[in-house]
Structure 1
Amino acid sequence: MQLSTVVSRLERAFGPVRELLVPLLSDPRVMGAWVVVVAVSTAVLLWDVRERNEAIPSLMKGVWTLTVLYSGPFGLAVYWYAGRTQIPRDSLARRGFRSTAHCYSGCGAGEVTGVLLAQGLLGLTVGWVAATTFGFAYLFGFSLTVGPLIQEGVGFREAVVDAFYSETPSITVMEVTAIGTDLLLAAEATVDDPLFWGALAFSLSVGYLAAFPVNLALVRVGVKEGMANPAEL
């Protein structure tokens, strides 16, 4: 089946959702309000980290900052539930949220880079936008796992193998969902169109939600550790 046929079928299936979201995400007032909400959420996060959670490792501080920048109050709520040292007790769900946020921070940066380059600057066709964006997201997410492992003393080969089987399922589900959502809503949008940025921001959070069950399952079976318990720091 050709890609164009698949895209056409998806557009028909999600037509009502698209008709609802596109006008909303195209409204400059909505995007302006979203920027303010993200800024406030980020300020709250940074204040809490500085005043009450300085013990959180630098890597996770970066993870939570990017998560909130991508998803605003939703990212802040995830941090509050799973990332603070004040959590009453750790749980499988909290470990799943932290693991997803770790993946999300790297993949989100790659997705933003890929979409800006392939769609915003080069104006590539839908298939090439999807492939380029997925490639950047996978590379960024993969590197965010390999790099820390090597810093901990793990050999390069072992770090790459570990990252491949632990991150590939999560990255794939996250990015197929996020990139698909973005292109479904704004495949023809340009960087000066509010819809370009609105669809990108919306798609990132959709990707996080899609990847959470995958990370939860990986943590449950021991493939992932779910990042360190912040309450023990």
Structure 2
Amino acid sequence: MEHEHHTSHENHASHDHHAGHENHPGHDHHGAGASWSTAAKATLHCLTGCAIGEVLGMIIGTALGWGNGATMALAIVLAFFFGYALTLRGVLAAGLGLRSAVKVALAADTVSIVVMEIVDNGVLLLVPGAMDAHLDDALFWGALAFAFAVAFLVTTPVNKWMIGRGKGHAVVHRYH
């Protein structure tokens, strides 16, 4: 019996979000097992990719003279691209093939990026003047920082819930 329990968790044994479940064989739902620290790290990882993509999208859209809608669309596309790219880089470095690495990145980041993009773009739309602020305006950077902070606060509990159930960034941890 001891061996069976070890086998069910051997892929996750080194992960702090599974600590405390070693004495519960057959325990499938790890909701309480995902630490806030693990969730915050996963969210910061996602936020980094999203921030790179969004800022780059806004710079490109502004430089090309695009309107708010087209610039926001480009920023969102690039946020997904860079969010996935950061995960892909780590998983590929762990020795996974490209096709499998793409599947892991999609499984790990999709919900997190979607929630983050909805929240941070929603906040930007609600901050008066933020969508019309230019890259050299303090309002632009202040609104963006505020939007990312709100997105982090909303997305972290989502990531905690997902990691605790072996989904989201828990998928990536198997390859570290």
* Normalised TM-score (structure 2): 0.71
Q: How does 1:36-55 map onto structure 2 within 5 Å?
A: none
1:165 aligns with 2:102: no
For 1:147 and 1:131, the matched residues in 2 are separated by 24
Q: Find the counterpart in structure 2 of residue 211 from structure 1.
A: 155
Q: Find the counterpart in structure 1 of residue 3 from structure 2.
A: none
How far the C-alpha of 1:194 sits from its partner, in A, is 1.8
1:187 partner SS: helix
How far the C-alpha of 1:148 sits from its partner, in A, is 0.9
Extract structure 1 runs of 4+ deviating beyond 3 A. none
1:124 partner SS: coil
Q: CA RMSD in A?
A: 2.2
1:225 aligns with 2:170: yes
Whether the 8 Å CA contact 1:95–1:225 is kept in 2: the answer is no
Report the number of matched residues: 139
Question: What do residues 93-150 of structure 1 show as CA deviations (whole Å, max 9, x unaligned)?
Answer: 12111111111111111111112222x3234223212211111111001000011111
For 2:162 and 2:97, the matched residues in 1 are separated by 23
Aligned to 2:52, which of 109, 116, 130?
109
For 1:213 and 1:125, the matched residues in 2 are separated by 34
1:128 aligns with 2:70: yes
Could you say if the C-alpha distance between residues 158 and 96 of structure 1 is closer, same or farther in structure 2, counting changes exceeding 3 Å?
A: same
For 1:131 and 1:210, the matched residues in 2 are separated by 21
Could you say if the C-alpha distance between residues 162 and 138 of structure 1 is closer, same or farther in structure 2, counting changes exceeding 3 Å?
A: same
For 1:193 and 1:105, the matched residues in 2 are separated by 22
Could you say if the C-alpha distance between residues 157 and 91 of structure 1 is closer, same or farther in structure 2, counting changes exceeding 3 Å?
A: closer
1:188 aligns with 2:132: yes
For 1:183 and 1:194, the matched residues in 2 are separated by 16
Identify unmatched segments of 5+ residues in structure 1: 1-89, 229-233
Q: Identity of aligned pairs, percent? A: 37
Whether the 8 Å CA contact 2:135–2:141 is kept in 1: the answer is yes
Q: How does 1:80-91 map onto structure 2 within 5 Å?
A: none
1:191 partner SS: coil
Could you say if the C-alpha distance between residues 121 and 183 of structure 1 is closer, same or farther in structure 2, counting changes exceeding 3 Å?
A: farther
Whether the 8 Å CA contact 2:43–2:159 is kept in 1: the answer is yes
Q: Which amino acid aligns with 2:148?
A: L
Whether the 8 Å CA contact 2:91–2:172 is kept in 1: the answer is no
How far the C-alpha of 1:227 sits from its partner, in A, is 7.6
Identify unmatched segments of 5+ residues in structure 2: 1-32
Aligned to 1:139, which of 78, 81, 101?
81
Aligned to 2:37, which of 71, 94, 98?
94
Whether the 8 Å CA contact 1:95–1:226 is kept in 2: the answer is no
* Normalised TM-score (structure 1): 0.55
